[in-house]
Structure 1
């Protein structure tokens, strides 16, 4: 078996910390600049690796200097990048994260459509996906690529984790029929259930409706935190982080920790608290890149759990 395989975006992440976000027509000085490996797929892969999983990444970069740099960073993090496609003629995706005070941020995305996965890209990694213990699929990728990844993961018996909310109804049905774990933020939850949960009780109802369609665990974000539900139970998780600096990577850290914990045999409730603690660790720093310490997570989850 090959541990965790993450299927998703790989990008450059330029993080600019400023004293105040400028108004229209205004300008401001940059207090700190960081250039990092980024993109949802790469961030989730880094999080899984930091928590001790062996990780392979399936994604696309351009055949350019930026692509070489981000793949070198991923390899330096201990992530296998042999399945990442280097696309000739494409420019590696660039994410610009403007981080102001009190967790206020703006995100600019320059994503060449040629850096999105195709079904053929995923098919080339079919053996890798079929041999994985867990496959984490980012649903913001095109539907045919998502469907191919889900099919390969299911054929190999992997723990299949789907993150996001597909706009395509056929892909939505396939996700719910195939994925063991589904995670979505507030906007993505509406795409999954067909209506927008307005509060925590509504989010619990939404999670229950998704469980009825096939998944074993459903995690949905709310304004107050996260709801994680499974057959026979659910838990409402508060936001654990104090004085958040940047919420960019919270969701990616959450799903990475949830995946690793479930893969190791933790109960859905225990895995949920582990995931909430991971999100809290990430929001304390600028940028989407996780910096997860298993011992700190364990302590934070134990303190927070009733």
Structure 2
């Protein structure tokens, strides 16, 4: 069984459907409204756990109703909660999500407690790191948490998957310690200055990221799939995605990352893990919500 530690965010998703995205100053009558577990870290943990991985979550929530819901949801998904801190001085994070009739979304995230994860809170989970096949993290927490996670994983010789979302400015010194970097087109553009619009620009952006020391770059390209480039290769490869009827694209990247981590830790090749991760991402957008939309292994099969 794949063993994965996820250091990242938990926020409660507050999602409203809208016929179109409101302009500045505009009020739109929408509906229905849904509330559920979310946050990139939490979503990726659920995605991996539902596929069969043994997942340990390292995050921080408030001592409030949303925080209690978080612990219940993780337990229900079979995710280890030993290293989840619950604090009174910060509220549990929340994401305000609008989804239009085409399934596209706009999101505002208030990180709350998970934005204050400290180095000490990461180091407290060292035993879980020691037992892990893979360490996964995002940029939806404090940079202190990101830096300490990567440094601890490097010290212990554990591979790191960094999903650089939402974009934050991270140093090249940190990037060179990352094993797998998984930006989407927007994040790749912000990291490299290259606007990713096709396979040629994907290759250009991925090559720049490899030059910073990253071992493997996987650019996620939505329904087009993903672009894979590894150190030592001059040319990357486009791994096609799947065309489905999307009802909600929120969390598709999280489904990809969680599935990629699981299948890679299970022993799949990088390319095979990408193929399966594309399937997981495609399935996730055919359902409403983020964590609730993550597919199970039987769905992929």
* TM-score after normalising by structure 1: 0.87
CA contact (8 A) 2:257 2:277 kept: yes
Q: 1:56 to 1:200 in 2, by over 3 A?
A: same
Aligned equivalent of 1:246, options 248, 262, 272: 248
Q: Is 1:255 equivalent to 2:254 in the alignment?
A: no
| 1:292 partner SS | coil
Which is worse superposed, 127-136 or 70-79?
127-136
2:151 aligned with 1:151: yes
Give the corresponding residue for 1:193. 192
Q: Which runs of structure 2 are paired with 1:1-306 in the superposition (5 Å)?
A: 3-21=3-21, 24-31=25-32, 33-112=33-112, 115-164=115-164, 167-170=168-171, 172-175=172-175, 177-222=176-221, 224-231=224-231, 232=233, 234-289=236-291, 290-298=293-301
Runs of 4+ with >6 A deviation: none
Bigger relative contact order, structure 1 or 2 (CA pairs below 8 A, ≥6 apart): 2
Decide which moves more: 126-135 or 54-63: 126-135
Q: Cα 1:67–1:241, aligned 2, differ >3 Å: closer, same or farther? A: farther
- Point out where structure 1 has 5 or more consecutive residues left out of the alignment: 299-306
Q: What root-mean-square deviation, in Å, do the aligned CA atoms of Structure 1 and Structure 2 show?
A: 2.3
Work out the number of aligned pairs and report it. 295
In structure 2, C-alpha distance between the alignment counterparts of 1:185 and 1:140, rounded to whole Å: 15
SS at structure 1 position matched to 2:182: strand
**Structure 2 alignment gaps of length 5 or more:** none
Contact kept in structure 2, 1:143 and 1:168, CA below 8 Å = no
TM-score normalized by structure 2?
Answer: 0.88
* Conservation of the 8 A alpha-carbon contact between 1:130 and 1:155: no
Contact 2:96 2:109 in 1 (8 A): yes
Query: Secondary structure of the equivalent of 2:102?
Result: helix
Rounded to whole Å, the distance in 2 between the matches of 1:149 and 1:2 is 19
